[in-house]
Amino acid sequence: MVPDNMRVPRFLGSGRIVFEERRVPRPGPGQLLVKVGANALCGSERGQFYNGTTTTPGHESSGVVILAGPGTHTPVGASGAIFLMDFCGECRYCKLGFTNQCLSKRGDMGFNRDGGYGPYELVSEHIFFPVGEGLSATEATLLLDIMGTGGHAIGRARLVQPDITAVLVAGAGPIGLGVLAMVKLLLGTVPVAITDLVRYRLQLAEHLGGLPIDLNAGTVADGLRRHGLPQVDMAIDTSGRKTARQDSLNALNKHGVLVCVGHGQGLELDVSSQLIAPERAVLGSEYFCYRELVDNLERLREHRSYLAQIITHRFGLADIQTAFELFFKGDTGKVVIEQ
């Protein structure tokens, strides 16, 4: 039985979260009401935590369908993950499968549509991805920013450089760790150097098979040389920092590709010497396409123990304040709110 009301976290700003009572929404045509089982924290929620929002955040959620609106086909009781973007399905890019570039997007869950930190989340059926049995709600969240965003960035790079013999990842936060893990799953034994200032995350990256570069102890170039990688074929910046992008670009071989995943600062380059002459490429990579969930689900089932190591902390909804404070201190991998 679905209750009439629920207690949801309200992000007031200045790093303060309180709870308030709201009505539980009911699904209309083409909609599902999902009882949230888990939602992973993301660095992109920093602005909501410190500046406040009237929307319930949470865009890495998974759960169980508890009510289905008219015209839907997903059965009540189905478990699944929720895609961030409520894409239209009809525009040029949606028809090509590029649902992350929808021209008529209806909203982004957790940003301008109430997301997964509430006990119940109302979603359009077409952004609910059923995962079947055997995966926990927490494991299902790995399909989203960890596997989805990381795998999509690698796919973008391989469009222009299929011969990848070494990789650099700038930033060992959850997205960077996801990129590292997906390189291991998609490219096998290719060495992956990964940079950060936080020793906790560098140790976790090393445990996942990465080659850590501690920026407290030297430059990116020094770290690459220490690992026997004077240059790399693919660099992926997850930090959004200008210096990280500059260092990543400078680390590229001829025909190398830099993929920018982290939003934030800019990049300066000399087109002739840094792009044209060495035939390098600089690409953007935004989230991932809904269709990529199918293959990633199979990878998750096969490599769930390895991927689950990225999740280092789990909290109940009542402790969401503590979870966010710990997460933004940096000494975590992926942090998940479980309900």
CATH topology of domain 5-143+309-338: Quinone Oxidoreductase; Chain A, domain 1 (3.90.180)
> What would the pLDDT profile of 140-175 be if each residue is shown by its tens digit?
999 999 999 999 999 999 999 999 999 999 999 999
The residues pairing with 237 across neighbouring beta strands, listed in sequence order, are: 170, 260
Q: Which residues of the chain have pLDDT under 50?
A: none
pLDDT for 1 equals 86
Parse the chain into domains and list their residue ranges: 5-143+309-338, 147-284
| Residue 29 burial by Cβ neighbours in a 10 Å radius (0-12, 13-18, 19+) | exposed
Q: Where are the alpha helices (DSSP H) in 58-214?
A: 92-95, 137-140, 150-160, 174-187, 199-207
Contact between 111 and 59 under an 8 Å Cβ cutoff? The reply is yes
pLDDT for 322 equals 98
pTM of the model: 0.97
What is the sign of the dihedral through the CA atoms of 300, 304, 306 and 310? positive
Match domain 147-284 to its CATH number in 3.50.50.60, 3.40.50.720, 2.60.120.560, 3.10.20.30.
3.40.50.720
pLDDT for 146 equals 98
d(CA 214, CA 237): 16
